[in-house]
Structure 1
Amino acid sequence: MSSGESATPLEELLPSTETSLTAEVFVHSLAPVGSKRQQDALVERLSGLADEGVVDGVDLLVWGDSICTGSVLANVGSGERIVSTIGEFYALAAKRGISISPFFRITKVTSSFADESFRRIVPPCRCLALYAEQKLVAVFPCVVDGVAYTPEDAISVLERTRSASVSSRAMADESS
């Protein structure tokens, strides 16, 4: 960005280019109908950024198409991790003044057959969390100032702002 340009709201969500980042991708399944191509493209782009040194690593977590928060399964292993991570997403959104609610629908399910009801979170089919020094710094999709930003939007900003920064640092290191 030149000195006369101001950062976009999306660019302001991301830490400075000197901060190392890791990425975590969350998906409904490894091959859902209708979004496998987008999942693959998302992970390929992030892997490319990892190969370039723009991000330090990429991880993947399958969280299913809904999470029943009152289930005993939400208190152990990956179930506990998923519920805790979504809680971190909401805490970050509140702290940063952004919204993730449109993408993480919370519903109550009632079954007349089993005479029971439960609360569930329906997460987006693709989600990207960015961490700096193992601390959550950004989550996508999100809404900032009324504009929705996707994981792909975040990757575009990383490609544009950080790839150039990594390249210039590498050239400086080689000239030393």
Structure 2
Amino acid sequence: MTRDRSDSIDISNSETTDRPAFRAWLDATADRFESADERRVEVFVRSMLPPLGAKSGQEALIARLDELTDESSLDAVSVTVTGDRLCLCETCAGTDTERALLDRIAELDEWGGDHDATASPFFEVRDLDSAMADETARALVPPRVTTALYCDDSLAGVFPCRIDGQEYAVADFADALHHFCEERQLVVEP
């Protein structure tokens, strides 16, 4: 397999792609995407029924990713519901379900060292207090939608994120992924 791709990636938002750190991520990830045997996207959502207004955007993202899976070199898309908040107390964090989600989020949080990138600012830790119940709790609040790109089981990108101090949305990731899939052409050698 080989590819026919120009050296410079060109996606629709040139203001985004003109930034050197994001360009470096695009170029490195395009190469990883091309050489991978398996390419998959994990989507993390707070709810399968977000507030109206956000619902159509979430549906459009999932439909776009499913279409790329059906028509391109993207192998799989999975959707995981995180809920609005994850309790960080020992009891809740000790359950299998919560521990699995917290471990996945920790992996997403660790991504980006090679590109001066981080998803951390988008995963908020909040202290919750109830004067009536005289209780407090700490909670992790994930973004409404988070996407993670894997190339051969290696995490290649997490959105939303900050790269070199600039914020990038899930839409920036979707545009880049579309380009990666579009530019990957299979050539059968005799």
SS class of match (1:55): coil
User: Could you tell me which amino acid in structure 1 is paired with residue 23 of structure 2?
Assistant: T
**Structure 2 counterparts to residues 156-171 of structure 1, below 5 A:** 156-165=175-184, 168-169=185-186
- Residues 1:67 and 2:108 aligned together: no
Q: CA deviation at 1:101?
A: 2.6
- 1:145 maps to what in 2? 164
**Structure 1's 12 and 117: CA in aligned 2 closer, same or farther, altered over 3 A?**
farther
- Shifted more, 7-16 versus 58-67: the winner is 7-16
Separation in 2, partners of 1:13, 1:126: 24
Separation in 2, partners of 1:65, 1:161: 31
Judge conservation of contact 2:40–2:76 (CA < 8 Å) in 1: yes
Root mean square deviation of aligned Cα: 2.3
Please, which of 5, 13, 38 is the counterpart of residue 57 of structure 2?
38
- 1:24 maps to what in 2? 42
Residues 69-93 of structure 1: per-residue CA shift (max 9 Å, x gap): 1152332233211111111112224
Please, which of 23, 37, 42 is the counterpart of residue 8 of structure 1?
23
Separation in 2, partners of 1:26, 1:95: 23
User: Could you tell me which amino acid in structure 2 is paired with residue 11 of structure 1?
Assistant: L
Query: What is the total number of aligned residue pairs between the two structures?
Result: 171
- 2:108 maps to what in 1? 89
Separation in 1, partners of 2:175, 2:167: 14
Q: TM-score, normalised by structure 1?
A: 0.85
User: Could you tell me which amino acid in structure 2 is paired with residue 100 of structure 1?
Assistant: A
Residues 44-102 of structure 1: per-residue CA shift (max 9 Å, x gap): 11111111232110111011111111152332233211111111112224564212232
SS class of match (1:124): coil
Separation in 1, partners of 2:113, 2:139: 20
Percentage of identical aligned residues: 30
Q: CA deviation at 1:136?
A: 2.2
**Structure 1's 69 and 13: CA in aligned 2 closer, same or farther, altered over 3 A?**
farther
User: Could you tell me which amino acid in structure 2 is paired with residue 85 of structure 1?
Assistant: R
- Shifted more, 81-90 versus 70-79: the winner is 70-79
Q: CA deviation at 1:163?
A: 1.6
Unmatched segments (≥5 aa) in structure 1: none
